[in-house]
Amino acid sequence: MSIRKRILLLSMVGLMAMAAPVGAQNSPSPSDLRFAVVDMDRVMAESDMGKSEQSGIDKLKGDRTALISSKQKELDTLEEQIRNASLSWSDEKRDEQARQYEVRRVELRRLNEDATRDVQAEFNRAMTKLQKAALGITAALGREKGYTLVFEKNTVPVLYASDSIEITSEVIQRLNLAGAGAAAKPQAPPPAAAKPVPNPPKTGGRR
């Protein structure tokens, strides 16, 4: 199971309990049960926050890929030089170039590993941030609408769900509104600059 799926599954377990109204938690009769489903993949892909976070991940990945590509070309160029000119080099120069090639090869491997780790860390951070916001809105919506349980469409095995009980679009809409509201909040004015302290008056006197 992927990291994203594990996070979603654990989050949705808590969400199911959070969404249930207080009265419904006390052994509701079957006729009182109300269910809803949310497609978190859609929330991540279509919400403004999800698009913004994905854009940041794509930029980081693109920057790392460009850097790795540049270093790979440098390594390929050095390898070509060694192949074509090594016969005319002295033993010392040949050994030095071979060492330089090995150093750059190791650096490139580490650069690849670091890039993979950085992109994964950014993905996990973005997923956690987005899921926290989306789950909070979904839970609030569940309580507001009186749902007993809210299922995640792609994590919990849902064999059938009527479109009438899917609230994904409303979750996306509210998430966008929440993001727009946060962006519209006026920024606190910067603190006033401290007034310069005047220099003390020079004392008169004879030198």
Could you read off the pLDDT of 113-162 as tens digits, one per residue? 999 999 999 999 999 999 999 999 999 999 999 999 999 988 877 778 88
Entry pTM: 0.68
Tens digit of pLDDT for each residue in 157-185? 777 888 889 999 999 999 999 888 776 66
The stretches of 86-156 forming alpha helices (DSSP H) are: 91-145
| CA distance linking residue 157 with residue 159, whole number of Å | 6
Query: Which has the closest alpha carbon to 142: 171, 180, 110, 113?
Result: 171
Q: What is the pLDDT of residues 1-52, one digit of tens each?
A: 554 555 554 455 445 444 444 444 455 566 678 999 999 999 999 999 999 9
